[in-house]
Amino acid sequence: MSSASSKAAVSDQLTKDSASRANRIMIIIWSWQYGGMPSQMDEWSVEGNSGDKVVRMDLKMSSSAKETLREKLQEYAQQGEVFLFLHRRHGYDQKTLKEILQMARSVLPQGHLIKSFLFGEGNDKIYIVNQTKGLLGTRGTFSAKLQAVGIRQATYVNAIADKDKKVIKRKHFDFVWHQYSHNFKAKIFELKEDLFRSLSPFLFITEIQAGAVYNYIKQEENKLLMLRLLSFIGKIRKGSNLETQLKEFEQQHKRSYFFDDCHLNLKMTYGEQEAQLYDSLVDTISKKLLAYEPNLNFTNIRDQFDELLEAMPGSTYN
Amino acid sequence: MKQVSYLSTDQITPKAVQNWFEQQGYQFVPLTDASPQPSEAFQKIEILILFVPFFHNNVYISNENVWKSFFQEHYPDVLLLTAGYIKQAHTNYLDLLQLPEDLPAFLQNAKSINQFDRFPFSGGLDVEKKLHKFYKGHGDESLTYELGKIARIITMAVDELKQAVPFPEIYKDLLIPNRIIEKWKVLTNRWQNYLPFFKGLPFDTTLQEVHDGFSSIAPFFEGGCEDEHLLIDLNCKEKLHEIKQKLEIIGRQYG
């Protein structure tokens, strides 16, 4: 399929989904029991009496957890589009994410949309402390107290519409859904911008010596950029020091830097073409930028970023 | 030496291109006040480059065309350009990865602000769309709609108070039935949601004044709207009208 027709197909699909208002389901693995959830799992509907729902699960990673998740994904994917959110602290990583998705998709007919995200440490857009229209509050709840600059009184933000009937406010649900629909595109765009800004000291060097850029990125002051690039090319192992350092940067900056869930989603949600463009960019970054390659061509790297971003439908941010 | 001013949230790139500008005969200076009202400093600018997109509150914000409207309205003689890492061809855009060899010639060919429609989009959050929702959105999105409702209720409350209607009656018959506290919460929540996206816009100072205005009357609302002295002493009616007017002025041009 050509790039244009592939993009058109994705766009058609999105239009169709939006027109038919496919049910949207978020399965969120988090510390819900800490917030008072009596069982391992429950279901909340969304204001407006649609088929949208939030499924809460508190499930530490294990073989049986993977099996349970597979079953749930199969079940919910039959009902609509599914976003699966996995809390990193519950033991989930890129590897387990892949296994779960592969298991679930192997038995689902094509076209069932499942996107999955790893989140944690309070840094992602799903948290109310980061986005007032988020869903996850403090200590396993749907609510949080926020202290805004210049406003004396703390604002209490609650994503619940009706606690007894287990109903979530629509605007919170819609906001998070929309944010995560665009999440990967924004992360890639931000990496591109930050990368070229950091590399601007090389703009006027006509013949960049082999390894000069790599050595520059390796410097302590560029550590964050290096970690993000390593995450982008899939070179950060779970439990490693590098992972800890990148998590610390995330916490410090309240930004999402990990790409551990990106490639899989590009492949399984966006399509093969996007996954190939991603792979090709990963290849360039690994073999040229983070290597001893002479005469680096920045415009070529920029073009690859742009090609990938253009292939992903929708805007960078909502 | 001719001067080129610039606005940027990125500290590294302008430093990297400083020498290049100077070698080509231009003094390259930052515009230190990044949120100006029409001012004397702006009247002195001949050439201004915006390094886009701007980065505020962890989001890349594309505001180039809002700045264009500002200059078109107030300083149409300024030669306005953008610079960035997006691949775009435009007479008034400097592609930082493919800089022109002859900068004076490039600037000579750049169009004056009235001669082109829009800057190429820099790829970040489209602030024009946000502004549109801020002013013209419905229900959950428009802030000015919510503000209008509150201003009307408070005006009525103050007017009735002046006509010697006892405050407890106003509270019971006007403020409570109109759910003023709830409306205030909605308003301030929306304000907090929008404000970060409007950083670095030409009317940033006005927005800060609006923010200060909200903060100054907050004690009345946060106290449950029960204290008539706060209603009067904090000039709630006048402040709300001031805020409304300030936002309307911005809205007429950019909303």
pLDDT per position as a tens digit, A208-267: 888 999 999 999 999 999 999 999 999 998 789 999 899 889 878 878 888 887 877 777
The verdict on a CB contact (< 8 Å) between A193 and B188 is: no
The answer for residues whose C-beta is within 8 angstroms of residue B220's C-beta and 6 or more apart is: B227, B230, B231, B234, B236
Helix axes B236-254, B64-74, angle to 10 degrees: 100
From residue B160, alpha-carbon distances to B132, B146, B170 in Å are 35, 22, 7
Q: Which residues of A touch B97 (CB under 8 A)?
A: 196, 203, 298-299, 302
Q: Contact at 8 Å (CB) between A308 and A191?
A: no
A298 chain-B contacts, CB cut-off 8 A: 97
- Residue B138: band (very low, low, confident or very high) from pLDDT cuts 50, 70, 90: low
User: By the CB < 8 Å criterion, does A203 face chain B?
Assistant: yes
CA nearest to B140 within chain A = A171
Tell me the pLDDT of chain B averaged across its residues: 90
pLDDT digits (tens, 9 = 90+) for B68-89: 998 998 899 999 999 999 999 9
Identify the pLDDT of residue B197.
Answer: 85
Chain B interface includes A196 (CB < 8 A): yes
Q: Which of A16-20, B128-132, B197-201 has the lowest mean pLDDT?
A: A16-20
Residue A115 forms beta bridges with which residues?
A83
Q: H-type helices in A38-139, by residue range?
A: 63-77, 94-106
Inter-chain residue contact A155 with B126, CB threshold 8 Å: no
- Residue in chain A nearest B9 by alpha carbon: A197
Answer for the pair B125, B61: CB distance below 8 angstroms, yes or no: yes
- Sort strands A160-162 and A167-168 into parallel, antiparallel or unpaired: antiparallel
pTM passes above 0.80? no
ipTM: 0.86
Please indicate whether, in this complex, the C-beta atoms of B188 and A198 are within 8 angstroms of each other.
no
Provide, as residue numbers in chain B, all residues whose Cβ is less than 8 Å from the Cβ of A190. 60
pLDDT of residue A10: 34
Q: Please calculate the CA angle A38-A39-A42 and round it to the nearest 5 degrees.
A: 105
B145-155 per-position pLDDT tens digit: 889 999 999 99
Residue type, A52: D
Give the pLDDT confidence score for residue A98 in this predicted structure.
80
Structure confidence at residue A4 (pLDDT): 40
Most A CBs within 10 A among B8, B60, B85, B191, hence the mutation to make, goes to: B85
d(CA A67, CA A62): 9
Lowest mean pLDDT among A77-91, A118-132, A294-308, B143-157: A118-132
pLDDT mean over B228-248: 95
Comparing CA positions, the residue from A8, A72, A84 lying closest to residue A271 is A8
* Stretch B96-115: mean pLDDT: 96
CA distances from B86 to A7, B82, B102, B126 (A): 21, 11, 20, 15
d(CA A85, CA A56): 10
More confident residue, A1 or A45: A45
Q: What is the pLDDT of residue A12?
A: 40
Reported as a pLDDT band with limits 50, 70 and 90, residue B14 is very high
Using an 8 Å CB-CB cutoff, list chain B residues near A153.
Answer: 218, 222
Q: Which residues of A245-268 are buried (b: 16+ CB within 10 A; e: fewer)?
A: ebbeebeeeebbbbbbbbbbbbbb
Nearest CA in chain B to A150: B215
pLDDT at B26 over 90: yes
- What is the average pLDDT across B132-140? 71
Burial zone of A189 (CB within 10 Å; 0-12 exposed, 13-18 middle, 19+ buried): buried
Q: Chain A contacts of B98, Cβ < 8 Å? A: 299
Q: What length does chain B have?
A: 255
B6 touches B48 (CB < 8 A): yes
- Amino acid letter, A196: F
pLDDT tens digits for range B34-77: 455 556 677 789 999 999 999 998 899 999 999 999 899 889 99
Region of B235 (left: φ > 0; alpha: ψ -120 to 50; beta: rest) is left
**pLDDT number for residue A147:** 67
Instruction: Sort strands B2-7 and B47-51 into parallel, antiparallel or unpaired.
Output: parallel
Q: Which CATH number fits domain B2-123: 3.40.50.2300, 3.40.50.450, 3.40.50.10890, 1.10.3720.10?
A: 3.40.50.2300
Q: Which of B119, B105, B116, B44 is nearest to B78 (CA)?
A: B44
A300 alpha-carbon distance from chain centroid: 26
pLDDT surpassing 90 at residue A156: no
| Nearest-CB residue to B218 (from A152, A200, A317) | A152
Q: Is the confidence at residue A13, as pLDDT, over 60?
A: no
Residue A21 has pLDDT above 70, yes or no: no
- Number of CB pairs < 8 Å for A and B? 87
pLDDT > 50? residue A109: yes
pLDDT at A151: 57
Interatomic CA distance for residues B232 and B157, integer angstroms:
10
C-alpha distance from A8 to closest chain B C-alpha (Å) = 20
Helices A170-198 and A223-232 cross at an angle (nearest 10°) of: 110
